[in-house]
């Protein structure tokens, strides 16, 4: 029995779709760090966030250690409430998130581009730069709102100012401030 060409095309398309895996939006708590974890690096978690979006509140619990990574969080899809929170926090033990760049144009650890409802909690940020280049910890770019920092520290600040930092979205940052 011969099948018409249109029937064959439909069968091929349906078969091909069976091999494509749809990725669900993120919702809930995810571990970052050494195995067992959902993501081995912060960059992997943020890549997933940027490509998949969220359908509810998301918490990334970062395992104790030092993470030498630079990430950019882009606007991502939100299918749940528009104010569903994205949170980064330690899962136990100290977390240091650091990055060093020899260029002024990329001298930040985390760049937030037009996103809202993000919380960073209990994380030590370090932007170690070559002499003469000021490092920025968090660069808030393009109208971010409802971004909060809870007990975020930087070892370059005097102890008395570590939990009350100044944050900036500017391209330069004066010494002894967190930007």
In this predicted model, what pLDDT tens digit does every residue of 52-89 receive, in sequence order? 999 999 999 999 999 999 999 999 999 988 889 999 99
Q: Exposure pattern of 30-56 as b/e (b: 16+ CB <10 Å)?
A: bbbbeeebbbebbeebbebbbeebbbe
Asked whether the beta carbons of 99 and 108 are under 8 A apart, the reply is yes
Residues in contact with 85: Cβ distance below 8 Å, sequence separation at least 6, in sequence order: 57, 58, 117, 118, 119
Q: What is the pLDDT of residue 23?
A: 59
Instruction: Return the pLDDT at 58.
Output: 98
pLDDT of residue 123: 92
**pLDDT on residue 6:** 53
Tokens coding 36: 């067992």
| pLDDT computed for residue 66 by the predictor | 95
**Could you read off the pLDDT of 25-50 as tens digits, one per residue?**
999 999 999 999 999 999 999 999 99
- In the block, tokens 């195995």 appear at 35
Contact (CB, 8 A) for 45 and 74: no
Please measure the distance between the N-terminal and C-terminal CA atoms of the chain and give it in whole angstroms: 71
- Interval 108-144: pLDDT, tens: 899 999 889 999 999 998 887 766 667 788 888 877 7
pLDDT value at 100 more than 60: yes
Q: What is the pTM of this model?
A: 0.74
Residue 5 is predicted with a pLDDT of 58
Provide the mean pLDDT of the chain: 77
């Amino acid at each position: 029995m011969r099948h018409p060409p249109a029937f064959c095309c439909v069968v091929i398309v349906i078969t091909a779709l069976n091999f494509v895996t749809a990725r669900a939006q993120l919702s809930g708590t995810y571990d970052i760090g050494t195995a067992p974890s959902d993501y081995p690096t912060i960059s992997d978690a943020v890549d997933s966030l940027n490509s998949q979006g969220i359908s509810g509140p998301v918490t990334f619990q970062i395992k104790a250690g030092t993470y030498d990574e630079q990430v950019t969080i882009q606007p991502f899809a939100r299918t749940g409430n528009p104010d569903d929170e994205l949170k980064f926090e330690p899962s136990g033990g100290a977390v240091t998130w650091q990055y060093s760049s020899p260029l002024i144009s990329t001298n930040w650890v985390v760049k937030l581009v037009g996103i809202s409802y993000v919380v960073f909690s209990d994380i030590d940020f370090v932007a170690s730069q070559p002499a003469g280049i000021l490092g920025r910890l968090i660069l808030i770019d393009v109208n971010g709102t409802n971004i909060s920092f809870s007990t975020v520290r930087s070892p370059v600040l005097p102890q008395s100012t570590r939990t009350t930092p100044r944050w900036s979205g500017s391209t330069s940052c004066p010494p002894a401030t967190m930007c």
